[in-house]
Amino acid sequence: MPLADWRDGFGHVDALAGANSQYDVDYLISNINGGEGFDWFYASAADRDNQIRTPITDTTYSEPWVFRYKDLWSWWSNPHHNRPGGVRAGTPTAWVPQSKKIVFTETGAPAVDKGANQPNVFVDPKSTESALPYYSTGARDDLAQRRVLEAGAAFWSDAANNPTSSVYAGPMVEADRHYIWAYDARPFPDFPARSDVWGDAANWEKGHWLNGRLGRAPLDLLVAALSAEAGFTALETGRLEGVLTGYVVDRPMSPREMIDPLADVFQFDMVETGSVIRFQPRSDAPVLTIDASALAARKSGAFTLSLGQELDLPAAFRLGFIDEQEDFAPAVVEARDPGARPAREIGAEIAAVLAPAEAEARARSILADAWVMRETLSFSLPPSVMELEPGDAIILNDLGTERRYRITEIDDGTERRADLVRVSPSVYEAPVGPASFTSPAPVQVFASPLWELMDLPLLREGDDAAAPWLAAFADPWPGGVALYRAVGESAGAPALAGAAPARAVLGRLNDGLAPAASGRWNNSAVSVKLSFGVLASRAQEEVFTGANLFAIESAGGGWEVAQFRDAVLQGDGSWRLTGLLRGQAGSEAEAQAGASAGARFVLLTPAVTQIDFSLNQRGVLYDWQAGPGQDIPDTENFTARTLTMNARGLAPLAPAHLRATREGADIRLAWTRRTRVGGDGWEGEVPLGEAFERYTVKIFNAGAEVRVIQTATPDYLYTAADITADFGGQGPGAVITFAVAQVSDAVGEGVEAMEGVGIK
């Protein structure tokens, strides 16, 4: 259903009848229930070219609506009579007038010049049905498409145009359910930028798609919105032409300062006429033709015609803008006249988001306009044309030669003097070139990361002794891995507990790691296959100062902290580590448990960080989940585990050097305490490292626990009476087995040391 019959220029029928342009919404609305397909039709292609319109009539049965394919009203409200052989049947069909609503399942127009002339055609070079609308230049035109949609929405939402059915008490056309062709599920700007993926990407530029277009701002609405910032609502902006993807107001400025760059680039004027501010394009049709002979005479003659110096004119114009096709990067386009003799170059910047082809069209138009406007005209207005205002275009007829001018200024004095500049309509019709979207970078899809939450002993002074350690790896790396914590299904939304800022060096053991003692070099080797990263050998002195520290998942369920001196890359990509120091930082028990093949290996680099963890969370069973930092939890990119953290770093280390000495019939059990903090010095006893000193001592007889006591000193006198009660008259013999653990005020008993020692 065509909504226009527009042609270039102003000499065609619809322009002469008063329509402003192909973007005139009132003009388009008038053709919904009028114009071609309603009032008249073209009988041939020649008639269309010459605009010879044949009225649609039915002289036989007085039902012209039968031939009016746009006359929905008559078709919907009248009985239907078939016409076999052209003869109207006397009996109507089963159709009941007004019995069903009409739903538009495809409505819209192509984004191309004069799209309203033939909204159904589609440009597709691969199709035999490819076509441009009648008389279209073939240039992309988003505003032409939008105006068709605006006209349809305005017309059908008006109850005066949309009658109510007497059958179902609803409107003839369901105005709230227009299905617009087409909004594509493929995301903009990947479609149309990804021509390597979609074969129809080139069709988007002039096609019916709304992706990337529907959110663009028509110039008339943008100027009205900016004017409203200053409280001006008495405006006329409907004749402005153009559309922007965006406009940036990046600092405090007046509405005039916001609008002026738009006026310069889109070439329109602002005119105060009565109580209204009128914004009008310089491409407007002339309002009248004036004969030079009718002009009021001045001292120097009827009119003065001047021509600017060519050397004062630009040979090039550069326009700075924001490029919508290059991820909104600043860009510059240039229009240049290669034949121009002057070397002068000018430029301007506008904080508007445009397609480069649109910016180039504007730059060409501005450059061409500067050369056309070098011709200026000045004359005094006769009383017969006193209604002329600045911005109006006129045609000056001088002895049969017609030239078009635009009034730039009117000076009212003893005479009404008008200053004008030359206008060429073709200057403002700069066609928009083809679009060229830069293909966006491939979208990275982040998979679930590998991660470990480790309850480690205190590694360094200054660390949070209670907090667990998080290590994570993913390829590609999502920029960070977030860890969330929740308690059971009824705990509500998971809480962010921490984040891994960088990829950790993670791997697994190729084979098991045998149990070993701490405090000495271990000559065994371990083979590790890494998921990421490299390992390096370090000097023995560097190892003693903390280099090459790693954690390994113990067969006993905890984490052993160890170090290696030498690392050699093997042919299969694994690493062979030798020169091991096992059971570091008080993890002797885990070292003695060993590790199984496949156990997790974590190099303790700065990428391994501590999470937020308070002491009252110790011992609580939490649901933990980790995934890409920018994603939300409880999605497919998160993996979950149920773990309990026990603030391992606060647990006192196992006492050392367990010994037993006879004192008469009694036995004194003694040991040497260790400390988590400040224990590297060799002078005197190590600091306590706890709020108070206390130990739990357990004594065993044949593997069975027979006595548990607590003491505030690093020894205990096992009296003869207690020995007899626990072992009988024979006593423990030459060896006594006991265990001792230091007690913390924060977490209770620490790591236990248990040993069978000879009694001296």
pLDDT digits (tens, 9 = 90+) for 639-695: 999 999 999 999 999 999 999 999 999 999 999 999 988 777 677 778 888 889 999
Map residue 555 onto helix, strand or coil.
coil
Map residue 291 onto helix, strand or coil.
strand
Task: Dig out the tokens for 593 from the structure.
Answer: 């448990």
Mean pLDDT of the residues in the chain = 91
Contact in structure between 595 and 553 (CB atoms under 8 Å):
yes
Class for domain 656-758, per CATH? Answer: mainly beta
User: Residue 663 CA to chain centroid, in angstroms?
Assistant: 79
Residue type present at position 562: A
Total count of residues recorded for the chain: 760
Map residue 599 onto helix, strand or coil.
coil
pLDDT at 365: 94
Contact in structure between 621 and 574 (CB atoms under 8 Å):
no
Q: Which of 30-39, 342-351, 435-444 has the lowest mean pLDDT?
A: 435-444
Give strand pairing partners of 492.
Answer: none
pLDDT at 687: 85
How far is 659 from 638, CA to CA, in rounded Å? 51
pLDDT at 426: 85
In tens, the pLDDT along 325-334 reads 888 999 999 9
How far is 265 from 120, CA to CA, in rounded Å? 32
Pairing of strands 621-628, 416-422: unpaired
- The model carries a pTM of 0.66
User: Residue 622 CA to chain centroid, in angstroms?
Assistant: 34
pLDDT at 730: 86
Query: What φ, ψ does residue 556 adopt, rounded to 5°?
Result: -85, -5
Give yes or no for residue 489 having a pLDDT over 70: no
How far is 615 from 646, CA to CA, in rounded Å? 9
How far is 70 from 34, CA to CA, in rounded Å? 8
How far is 616 from 647, CA to CA, in rounded Å? 10
Give strand pairing partners of 577.
Answer: 526, 567
**Angle at CA of residue 661, ends 656 and 664, nearest 5°:** 160
The DSSP letter of residue 687 is P
Confidence category of residue 144, pLDDT binned at 50, 70, 90: very high
Between 139 and 435, name the one with better pLDDT: 139
Q: Which of 15-19, 380-384, 731-735 has the lowest mean pLDDT?
A: 380-384
In tens, the pLDDT along 76-95 reads 999 999 999 999 999 999 99
User: Residue 390 CA to chain centroid, in angstroms?
Assistant: 45
Residue 457, CB half-sphere, CA atoms under 13 Å: how many?
26
Torsion sign over Cα 303, 308, 309, 310: negative
pLDDT at 464: 92
Query: What φ, ψ does residue 482 adopt, rounded to 5°?
Result: -100, 145
Pairing of strands 639-644, 495-500: unpaired
pLDDT at 587: 93
How far is 302 from 294, CA to CA, in rounded Å? 8
| Kind plus residue range of the DSSP H or E element containing 46 | helix 45-50
In tens, the pLDDT along 386-421 reads 788 888 999 988 878 889 999 999 888 777 888 999
In tens, the pLDDT along 361-377 reads 999 999 999 999 999 98
Residue 432, CB half-sphere, CA atoms under 13 Å: how many?
21
Task: Dig out the tokens for 24 from the structure.
Answer: 């005139």
Residue ranges of domains in the chain: 1-214, 217-280, 282-429, 450-649, 656-758
| Kind plus residue range of the DSSP H or E element containing 651 | none
Taking alpha carbons only, the member of 520, 524, 522, 586 closest to residue 551 is 586
Q: Is 555 exposed, middle or buried (0-12, 13-18, 19+ CB in 10 A)?
A: middle
Map residue 23 onto helix, strand or coil.
coil
Between 690 and 295, name the one with better pLDDT: 690
In tens, the pLDDT along 27-62 reads 999 999 999 999 999 999 999 999 999 999 999 999
Confidence category of residue 461, pLDDT binned at 50, 70, 90: confident
Residue type present at position 72: L
Overall average pLDDT of the 472-478 stretch: 94
